[in-house]
Each structure stands twice: as C-alpha cells, then as structure tokens.
Structure 1
Amino acid sequence: MKREETVDYHIKSAWHAISRMYNQHAAQEGFTTAIGFVLININSKEGTPATKIAPMIGLETRSLTRMLKTMEEKGLVYKKPDPQDRRSVRIFLTEEGKEKKEISVRTIKEFNEQIREVIDESDLRTFFDVFEKVQMVIDQFSGAEANKPIFEL
C-alpha cells in the first residue's frame, strides 16, 4: 500500500496544511496557533480553571503550564485564585488576550466559510460522518489494542 492510499496520510497532510495556514495568520498577529487554541478555550468573562484547559485541547499539563507562562509574559492572560476552590487557579484573558482570541475565532470562521463555498452541504455531511467513523476506529484501538499493528505497509 502506498502512503497516498492510506487514510492517515490524507488526514495528516491536510492538518499540516491547515496548521501552517493558521500559523502564518497567527504569526502576522504576534502569536501562534497553539496560543490561539488556548485563548479560544478560555471563557472571556468568567475565566477558566487551569486544570480544564489542557484536556479541552488535547495538551499535556506540562506543555500547557509552559504555554500559560509564555502567555502571561506576553500579557495575554493572568491568573487568579478560584473563588470556589482556593487550591485552584482560573485563567483570565487580558484585553490583548481578548483581541487575539477574536482574531483566532475570526480566522477559523473565515476558513470554514471558504470551505463551505467550495464543498456542498451533503459532501460536508458525508465528510463529518466519515470522520466520526474514523474516530470510532481510533477509540477501539486505544488502550491495550493500541500496540497491535492494524496492517503492514
């Protein structure tokens, strides 16, 4: 089987192209795609518990800790003790953080609008259905079965 015939090749190459595009837009605004994804997942009014952010975006806690430190240094976020649980902290957006979040949201919306101009609704529905099935296969092979080869190339 050639790599171009594998599902994961097409998923990976498309995601890398999307990621490069998002990074180019983010770099023009002075941040990264990863920071943009974190900003999007922080509640603009109430903040978000730091412990909730990593699982929402699939990051390791250590990576998020470093990223939040960088974001604090850049003036995008600040931390405050959680009023319900003093052992925990909530992450809040600064005004600049809110601006960068809006840029991130707008960039994602614009990209999705462009996709919807080129791909009709029934094809998109099929695309989403296929990806739900791909995710189901991934879920089935997670855990103990994750180490079993699915096929040989």
Structure 2
Amino acid sequence: MKNKTIDYILRATWQAISRMYNEEATKYGATMATGFTLLSIDKEEGTPSTALGPKMGMEPTSLTRILKSMEEKGLIIKKKNPNDGRGVLIYLTDQGKEKRALSKSTVIQFNESIKKHISDEKWENFIEVAETINKLIQDKEIFNPSENRENGIATTEKNKK
C-alpha cells in the first residue's frame, strides 16, 4: 500500500474487516452491525438507548433500524428506565447474550490472529498512530484555519509552546 493516503489505507482496511465480519456473521444469521451492537450493550445492567448511538458512533436513525431488527429476532428487550421515565434501557435476552459471546469470541480471534503476524513493537506503533490521528481530529487540528504547517505537520500556536 505504498504511496497511498492515510484515509485510503484506513478505509480499504476497514472495508476488508467489515466484509470479513459480515461473512462470518451471516453464518449465524447476523450482521457485523448486530454484533457490534450486542458488544456495546452492558450484558448485566443494560444500556440507555440514548447512550448507545454515541458509544457506537452511529446516527440515531441507523441505530433505530438495527435495534428494531434485534428486538424482532429476540436478541434484546426494551424497558423503561426507572431513573428516567422518558428513557429506555436496552437489555440482552438470553439469546442476545449467546450471540454477544459469539461476537466477542470472533473479535478476540481476529485480534489474536493479527497479533500473531506482527511484533509487539509494531502493534504499539499502530495504536500510537491511531490515537494520534483520533486526537488530531477530536482537537480539530486538521482543518483549523489558524494552524501553521511546519515540515508537513499541522501545528497550532498552542502546540508550539
């Protein structure tokens, strides 16, 4: 992937991962989105529906469709939040917990397989690079009009000090 942009590499890699997870999930009548949602719901305490979207980085409309499908398949149940009458808590059913365990083992298997093929040092570098990219985006340092560019690296006045 030499001479490719960072966003191209990330997108192409994520698309490959997504296809792989969806292929695996279809064996069990699920999707990657279902598995991700199952993993994002607290298996004991449930999760407020309003917290689920931000936790997963999903838009409410997309999440609503996924939750409706999961409820129809008997993977989750919705209950009124006893601490907030306006809110809803999402709980896993027994079947949902089984599918969650399956999703978790699939993710662990993927991670272990990748880690077998790269050194600990490369893994640490990968994490550091990903965290740096996320921080730069979160801190709005990529397209900030007040930034100066030095040596091809975006810096703000605050970071120079």
Common fold by TM > 0.5: yes
Which amino acid letter does the alignment assign opposite residue 12 of structure 1? R
Task: Report the equivalent of 1:68.
Answer: 67
Bigger Rg, structure 1 or 2: 2
Which protein has greater RCO, CA pairs closer than 8 Å, 6+ apart? 1
Structure 1 stretches of 4+ with a deviation exceeding 6 A read none
Cα shift at 1:81: 0.8
Is residue 136–residue 142 contact of structure 2 (8 Å, CA) maintained in 1? no
The answer for unaligned runs of 5 or more in structure 1 is: 147-153
CA distance in 1, matches of 2:100, 2:37: 9
The answer for unaligned runs of 5 or more in structure 2 is: 146-161
Q: What are the equivalent positions in structure 2 for 1:36-115 lying under 5 Å apart?
A: 36-115=35-114
Q: Secondary structure at the match of 2:41?
A: coil
Residue 30 of structure 2 corresponds to residue 31 of structure 1 = yes
Q: Secondary structure at the match of 1:86?
A: strand
Which amino acid letter does the alignment assign opposite residue 43 of structure 1? D
Cα shift at 1:83: 1.2
Task: Report the equivalent of 1:18.
Answer: 17
Which amino acid letter does the alignment assign opposite residue 123 of structure 1? K
Deviations 1:118-142 (A, max 9, x none): 1111110011111112223323448
How many residues align? The count is 145
Higher normalized helix content (fraction of residues): 1
Deviations 1:26-47 (A, max 9, x none): 1101110001111101111111
RMSD (Å) for aligned C-alpha atoms: 2.1
Is residue 49–residue 89 contact of structure 2 (8 Å, CA) maintained in 1? yes
Cα shift at 1:49: 0.6
Task: Report the equivalent of 2:137.
Answer: 138
Is residue 44–residue 98 contact of structure 1 (8 Å, CA) maintained in 2? yes
Is residue 39–residue 97 contact of structure 1 (8 Å, CA) maintained in 2? yes
Q: Secondary structure at the match of 1:69?
A: helix
TM-score, normalised with respect to structure 1: 0.87
CA distance in 1, matches of 2:90, 2:124: 35
CA distance in 2, matches of 1:70, 1:4: 41
Give % identity. Answer: 44
CA distance in 2, matches of 1:135, 1:97: 31
